[in-house]
Structure 1
Amino acid sequence: MCIFCQIIAGEAEASFVHQDKLCVAFMNLRPINPGEFMVIPRAHIDHFTDLSDDLAAHIMLVAQRLGRHMQATLSPRRVGYVVHGFGVPHAHLNVVPLMHSNDIISGKHVQVHDTGFEVTLAGLAAPNRAELDAMAARLRLP
């Protein structure tokens, strides 16, 4: 069972922003900027492109509504939406508060070595559960 399925089953912790019968949204453990969260289907579907049109539209609508609330609450310059499909083999839409034009392809992800560079999460802050829960509470729709 993937970690996202464990979260949905209540077997792993998450800081939820939204829950309904089709999807959930919860805080990213290694956000590019504070407030980043992801929206995932409850059903285990690996590739975002394998979602039904109705489910993909529902996930985007949830992300859009939460993104508007993020804009009003956190005042980022932009709200970005990213589907890359890597990390966890369970479809997910990342919703990212953007402060700079390069936040999505962030230098925070890159470590330079003598022989080249490495893309890693090591440069991203890892908020503790209390911080994640507090941010999730701020981002929930009233």
Structure 2
Amino acid sequence: MASIFSRIIAGEIPSYKVDEDANYYAFLDINPLTEGHTLVVPKQEVDYLFDLDDRTLAGMMLFAKRVARKIERQIECKRVAVVVLGLEVPHAHIHLIPIRSEADVDFRREKLSLSPEALQAIADKLNR
């Protein structure tokens, strides 16, 4: 059975796309820690990031860098944090989180509650 991320990539489940190329897909996290919190996934469904072959992993990091630069240009932040964690979806993924302080990366804190319209506005901003 395809992971939820594979279904998002296939267009079966809607997402707020930030970027895409032949091998990777970036979309807004719908339960973000901060405005612009983005997930980067390989289109190849592999559960664990470090099980990706070296070429795919390196390409994913370069793609994530491209997405992070978009975030830095459009979202006020000091840095874009890169976080790899998560056991909830069996599909390798990287969190790109615009931060002003390290506290912004605390996954135990309450997530933002953004409307679909707000999420779409952020995605549109990042796609300028």
Matched letter for residue 70 of structure 2: H
Q: Quick check: 1:136 aligned with 2:105?
A: no
Unaligned residue ranges in structure 2 (runs of 5+): none
User: What residue in structure 1 maps to residue 19 of structure 2?
Assistant: 18
Counterpart in 1 of 2:44?
Answer: 43
Q: Name stretches of at least 5 consecutive residues in structure 1 with no aligned partner.
A: 111-122
Distance 2:106 2:111 in 1: 13
If you compute each CA radius of gyration, which structure gives the higher value, 1 or 2? 1
SS at match of 2:61: helix
Deviation at 1:53, TM superposition (A): 1.2
Tell me if the contact between 2:25 and 2:41 (Cα under 8 Å) persists in the aligned partners.
yes
Counting matched residue pairs gives 127
SS at match of 2:92: coil
Partner of 1:118: none
Give me the whole-angstrom Cα distance separating, in 2, the residues matched to 1:69 and 1:21. Answer: 18
Name the % identity.
32
Name the residue aligned to 1:125.
Answer: 112
TM-score (norm 2): 0.91
Q: What are the equivalent positions in structure 2 for 1:1-142 lying under 5 Å apart?
A: 1-106=2-107, 109-110=108-109, 123-140=110-127, 142=128
Aligned-pair RMSD on alpha carbons?
A: 1.4
